[in-house]
Amino acid sequence: MAADVVVRARRAVVGEQEVAATVHVEGGRIAAVEALDADPGGAPVVDLADDEVLLPALVDTHVHVNEPGRTEWEGFASATRAAAAGGVGTVVDMPLNSLPPTVTAEALAAKRAAASGQCLVDVAFWGGAVPGNLADLAPLHEAGVLGFKAFLVDSGVPEFGHLDDAGLRAALAEVARLGSLLLLHAEDPTALEAAPPPSGRGYRRFLASRPREAEERAVERVVTALREVGGRAHVVHLSDADAVPIVAAAQAEGLALTAETCPHYLALTAGDVPDGATEYKCCPPIRERDDQDGLWAGLAAGTIGAVVSDHSPSTVDLKRLDSGDFGEAWGGIAGLQLSLPVVWTEARRRGHTLVDVVRWMARGPADLVGLTDRGRIEPGAVAHLAVLAPDAAFTVDVAALHHRNPVSPYAGRVLTGVVRQTWLHGAPVDLAAAPRGRLLTGGTP
């Protein structure tokens, strides 16, 4: 076999099992997966160390890059460097908080121009569904977005408005006509309006301002809309365990509803958040231990099919670390580089395997958005790989992370699982070398 390179691993996640494997890479794709003692056919051989496991590189479908317009929050160079350092081979960029937001084909062209030549990993794009842009969805789809993101509540930025029930149905019907996917930030504004406003340093007050009922009511609204107009809907960053049975019931009914959750909901609880620690602020919020347990149960059952970062950074001043006021601080967690070790640390404690983690963080997100040539180690797949030392531990040093602004709720935490290398299109990523990442269109490289 005339491979460019052969990777031999005593442990590799291939399909739904962990096996010893020889992976032949040719032309940036996986040409064959064979037994450990297979003949390399004269190709150069890379032997992984005994303490390393070969994984498919992760696919993170929920990343806010913010360039152009708010590049000081996060840009393509810094975000994709963080991704590569964390074992992520593909990211999908959210349509906010860049300026302009990705709600027209022209804005998508500006986004792609800003990303060109800067990306250390592959990047695809979401479009936005906002009030007044229904006619823009088809041109965005034709231009290659993987689907559309909408909010059912205030997005936090004035240029990206949220949909009411009529807008939700109209967007869902149009996205269904296009054969695409509608992602929904599912919190209900009426429930939030009835809650106490967030203010001050107390985390419990902030938590009370984003009650569980807001997520449950919003997910129920999505289910009702799906029954009426059809289509595919996906609930992003689910944090409320009581919303999981609503999703499960809709799936059992035959509705095309899927859901994701995030590392911070799986690894952190409200009890971990000190008062004034606004680096933990996100919306929906980090909730109680029983919510966390319910999310893990939803993953184990397959109701929740993906774990993605919701990497949503800002400048340090917007986090209000000086005052610690949760009402004033930007709501978003920067966790792209740490997603894999954060999830693995908690997953292994709960008895899950690396096969599970790959299903949730690589194959699952890839399949959700139609990027079925990645997130797996199999012939024909793009040779995006991650080398993980699953038993090695490290202490998080925020200054050593690659995202633009040094803020993280994981600072000082001891995590298990060190990413030693990420491969992109059949070769290791050099964080200091010229970027090799590609801009993806419509689910194809």
> What whole-number distance in Å separates Cα of residue 65 and Cα of residue 6?
34
443 pLDDT band, cuts 50/70/90, is low
Q: Does residue 221 sit in helix, strand or coil? A: helix
Which residues, 6+ apart, have CB-to-CB distance to 238 below 8 Å?
Answer: 186, 215, 244, 247, 259, 260, 261, 265, 284, 295, 298, 304
State yes or no: pLDDT of 1 exceeds 90: no
Q: What are phi and psi of 294, to 5 degrees?
A: -65, -35
Give the number of C-alpha atoms closer than 13 A to the C-alpha of residue 399, restricted to the C-beta side.
0
User: Is pLDDT of 307 > 50?
Assistant: yes
CA–chain centroid gap for 31, Å, is 28
pLDDT in tens, 278-293: 999 999 999 999 999 9
**Distance of alpha carbon 248 from its chain centroid, rounded?**
21
Stretch 394-404: mean pLDDT, rounded? 96
445, pLDDT greater than 70: no
- List, for residues 352-396, the tens digit of each pLDDT value: 999 999 999 999 999 999 999 999 999 999 999 999 999 999 999
Q: For residue range 82-125, what is the model confidence (pLDDT) as tens digits? A: 999 999 999 999 999 999 999 999 999 999 999 999 999 999 99
What pLDDT sits at residue 395? 98
> What pLDDT was estimated at residue 444?
45
Average pLDDT, the chain: 97
For residues 144-152, give the mean pLDDT.
Answer: 98
Strands 182-185 and 232-235: parallel
The model carries a pTM of: 0.97
H/E stretch holding 258 reads strand 256-261
Going by C-alpha positions, the residue among 344, 353, 357 that lies closest to residue 418 is 344
- Per-residue pLDDT, 2: 56
Q: Which residues contact 77 (CB under 8 A, 6 or more apart)?
A: 118, 119, 120, 435
Quote the percentage of the chain above a pLDDT of 70. Answer: 99
Q: What pLDDT sits at residue 442?
A: 81
Q: Domains of the chain (ranges plus CATH)?
A: 57-372+392-412 (3.20.20.140)
**Does 323 score more than 60 pLDDT?**
yes
Residues with Cβ within 8 Å of 68's Cβ and at least 6 positions away in sequence, in order, are 98, 99, 110, 111, 114
Span 173-220, pLDDT tens digits: 999 999 999 999 999 999 999 999 999 999 999 999 999 999 999 999
- The CA distance from 392 to 271, in Å, is 27
CA 13 to chain CA centroid, nearest Å: 20
Smallest CA-to-CA distance from 185 within 225, 214, 213, 207 is with 214
